[in-house]
Amino acid sequence: MRTDAAAANAPTPLSPRMRSALIAGALVVVAITVVLVYALATGPRGLAPEQQDGALPATRTDSHVLDEAGPDAPTLVEFMDFECEACGAFYPVVEQIREQYAGRINYVIRYFPIASHANAMNAALAVEAAAQQGQVEDMYHRMFETQAEWGEQQTSQADLFRSFAEDLGLDLAAYDDAIADPSTQERVQQDLDDGQALGVQGTPTFFLDGERLELSSVQDLTNALDRALDASGSA
Amino acid sequence: MTAVATTPGTVLFEPRAAERRRAIAVTALAAIGLAAAIALLLERFAILEDPTHVPSCTLNPILSCTSVMASDQASVFGFPNPLIGVVGFTVVLTAGASMLSGARLGEWFWLGLQAGVTFGVVFVHWLAFQSLYRIGALCPYCLVVWAVMIPLFLSVTLRNLQRWQLSLPRPARSALAVAVDYRSTILTVWYLAIALLAVQRFWSYWSTLVP
């Protein structure tokens, strides 16, 4: 009994369970702090990328301009993922709009391959490799026209994309070199990084003269284009 | 009379309060896991009825049930994984509720539970790996299942190890005592490890959410 009494009078140390809970809490705080500090240290996130001289709004000078109407015309930029179904659904709509506004707007495509799409990056690389041979638009059409055949697959479709290049009559040796060249992937990654810096969170995301469009219907897109055309016409 | 707990080799019967706490934890965890498994199964049905259905747990390109459910990994054994969860969590829920009502489960039953939670925890980690590094998306209901499977495994395993500790070598027994005391730390480290992997894997995506 003496030991019990002594134990009762001694200052009670923390119980192991309490100590464990404190350690656990401290670890959570440390982990969150490390992640936040790292995030703040690495990312000038949220800052728009620097606008290059001579580039259309929300593009770079090396961005792929499919329709060109001059620097004074409204510029529609689409951040796209060739494997994204919504982009595939938008494709015919965008094509119609390009036709409707032909010669009056600039239309620029930028890559935004999303990690959960196994072949989004492969497709973007194939389009970029085609672009290096001046056939960006043909490959862009081919990707969306065939999306149902290769989308949502877990296995690499790079061989299929190579066969598209062959169909288009590309120089296959140069195509293979471009696919293997890390700078091609860097070029795609640059679009992705720019998109993220501009606040793109999903695809497709459209920018009109550097402003992100919130679209709930096709009408919204044509209305925005009409307004931009009116504005540039009256200016 | 005072030193029962410290005499080496004495079987340490847990106080009733600890047993009761475990019964509550097991029941609650199994109930949450069951709810998540049912939700996953219902979303599966909804997609089967209408392939364009967007599940309630598809929030953005990363937090997306759609990509995960469409994967081969979502029915590894030839049928949808959530079926395993619905059956498994129901068994554990029933066991937990029985304990709460005062039943004493036989040791062979605990052995069976141990087999079940061990399979569950291994499976969940395989799925986590697939989800992070192969599919490239996280499904929120699946995250709930991962989150309950780990403490469920810890709870059952620590209970069983304590019960069978006499057959363990001495150093293992002292390690076990520490593990029992510090189980909340173990659980936290476990969660943090997976959370940090997910943060790292989808860093470029998460960073767009921070203004």
- The partner residues of B97 in beta bridges, in order of sequence, read none
**What does the block give as tokens for A211?**
């402003």
Cβ separation of B134 and A154 shorter than 8 Å? yes
Cβ separation of B60 and A201 shorter than 8 Å? yes
pLDDT for A48: 57
Cβ separation of B61 and A202 shorter than 8 Å? yes
Contacts of A192 in chain B (CB under 8 A): 204
Q: Select from A16, A27, A43 the Cβ nearest to the Cβ of B188.
A: A27
- A222-233 pLDDT per residue, tens: 999 999 988 876
- The partner residues of A65 in beta bridges, in order of sequence, read A108
**What does the block give as tokens for A113?**
């391959």
CA–CA separation, A226 vs B134, rounded Å? 43
Q: Does B53 touch chain A (CB under 8 A)?
A: no
Phi, psi dihedrals of residue B11, rounded to the nearest 5°: -70, 125
Q: What's the mean pLDDT in B132-149?
A: 92
pLDDT tier at B13, thresholds 50, 70, 90: low
Cβ separation of A20 and B71 shorter than 8 Å? no
Residue A149 has pLDDT above 70, yes or no: yes
CA–CA separation, B92 vs B89, rounded Å? 5
Residues 49-108 of A with CB under 8 A from B: none
Residue A161 has pLDDT above 50, yes or no: yes
Residue A66 has pLDDT above 90, yes or no: yes
- Are the beta carbons of A62 and A108 closer than 8 angstroms? no
pLDDT for A72: 87
pLDDT tier at A4, thresholds 50, 70, 90: low
Three-state DSSP class for residue A49: coil
- The partner residues of A80 in beta bridges, in order of sequence, read A111
pLDDT for A41: 74
Q: What's the mean pLDDT in B141-158?
A: 96
Task: Tell me which residue of A114, A124, A150, A104 sits closest to A64, measured CA to CA.
Answer: A124
**What does the block give as tokens for A92?**
């015919």
pLDDT tier at B111, thresholds 50, 70, 90: very high
pLDDT for B2: 39
Which residue from A minimizes the CA distance to B73? A154
pLDDT for B10: 45
**What does the block give as tokens for B107?**
């040791």
pLDDT for B14: 63
Contacts of A200 in chain B (CB under 8 A): 208
**Comparing B81 with B208, which gets the higher pLDDT?**
B81
CA–CA separation, B128 vs B135, rounded Å? 10
Contacts of A43 in chain B (CB under 8 A): 207, 210
CA–CA separation, A198 vs A51, rounded Å? 11
Residue B153: Cβ-neighbour burial (10 angstroms; 0-12, 13-18, 19+) = buried
pLDDT for A108: 95
Q: Does A217 touch chain B (CB under 8 A)?
A: no
- Are the beta carbons of A22 and A156 closer than 8 angstroms? no
Q: Does A39 touch chain B (CB under 8 A)?
A: yes
Q: Select from B70, B137, B187 the Cβ nearest to the Cβ of A152.
A: B70
Cβ separation of B181 and A21 shorter than 8 Å? no
Three-state DSSP class for residue A155: coil
- Are the beta carbons of A104 and A73 closer than 8 angstroms? yes
Task: Tell me which residue of A54, A109, A49, A113 sits closest to A76, measured CA to CA.
Answer: A109
pLDDT for B107: 93
Q: What's the mean pLDDT in B19-36?
A: 95
**What does the block give as tokens for B149?**
């499977």
pLDDT tier at A154, thresholds 50, 70, 90: confident
Cβ separation of A31 and B71 shorter than 8 Å? no
Cβ separation of B182 and A27 shorter than 8 Å? no
Residue A86 has pLDDT above 50, yes or no: yes
Whether ipTM tops 0.90, in short, is no
Please report, rounded to a whole number, the percentage of residues in chain A having pLDDT higher than 90: 54
- A107-140 pLDDT per residue, tens: 999 999 988 888 999 999 999 999 999 999 999 9
Considering only A55-59, B26-30, B183-187, which range has the smallest mean pLDDT? A55-59
**Comparing A115 with B145, which gets the higher pLDDT?**
B145
pLDDT for A37: 86
pLDDT for A50: 67
Cβ separation of A35 and B196 shorter than 8 Å? yes
CA–CA separation, A109 vs B199, rounded Å? 29
Task: Tell me which residue of A206, A136, A216 sits closest to A170, measured CA to CA.
Answer: A136
Q: Does A114 touch chain B (CB under 8 A)?
A: yes
Please report, rounded to a whole number, the percentage of residues in chain B having pLDDT higher than 90: 63
**Comparing A214 with A207, which gets the higher pLDDT?**
A207
* Cβ atoms within 10 Å of B191's Cβ, excluding its own: 18
Residue A76: Cβ-neighbour burial (10 angstroms; 0-12, 13-18, 19+) = buried
pLDDT for B11: 47
pLDDT for B114: 97
Considering only A181-185, B54-58, B150-154, which range has the smallest mean pLDDT? B54-58
Which residue from B minimizes the CA distance to A81? B61
Residue B167: Cβ-neighbour burial (10 angstroms; 0-12, 13-18, 19+) = exposed
Task: Tell me which residue of B111, B108, B107, B116 sits closest to B88, measured CA to CA.
Answer: B116
pLDDT tier at A30, thresholds 50, 70, 90: very high
Phi, psi dihedrals of residue A67, rounded to the nearest 5°: -125, 130
Q: What's the mean pLDDT in A10-20?
A: 81
What torsion do the CA atoms of A136, A137, A138, A141 make, to the nearest 10 degrees?
Answer: 120
CA–CA separation, A48 vs A77, rounded Å? 15
pLDDT tier at A15, thresholds 50, 70, 90: confident
Q: What mean pLDDT is reported for chain A?
A: 87
- Are the beta carbons of B60 and A201 closer than 8 angstroms? yes
pLDDT tier at B1, thresholds 50, 70, 90: very low
CA–CA separation, B143 vs B124, rounded Å? 9
Q: How far is CA B169 from CA B144, B159, B161, B172, B177, in A?
A: 36, 17, 12, 5, 13
**What does the block give as tokens for B169?**
């070598």
Give the 3-state DSSP-derived string for chain B, with helices as H, strands as E and coil as C: CCCHHHCCCCCCCCCHHHHHHHHHHHHHHHHHHHHHHHHHHHHHHHHHHCCCCCCCCCCCCCECHHHHHCCHHHHCCCCCCHHHHHHHHHHHHHHHHHHHCCCCCCHHHHHHHHHHHHHHHHHHHHHHHHHHHHHCCECHHHHHHHHHHHHHHHHHHHHHHHHCHHHCCHHHHHHHHHHHHCHHHHHHHHHHHHHHHHHHHCHHHHHHHCC
Contacts of B67 in chain A (CB under 8 A): 116-117
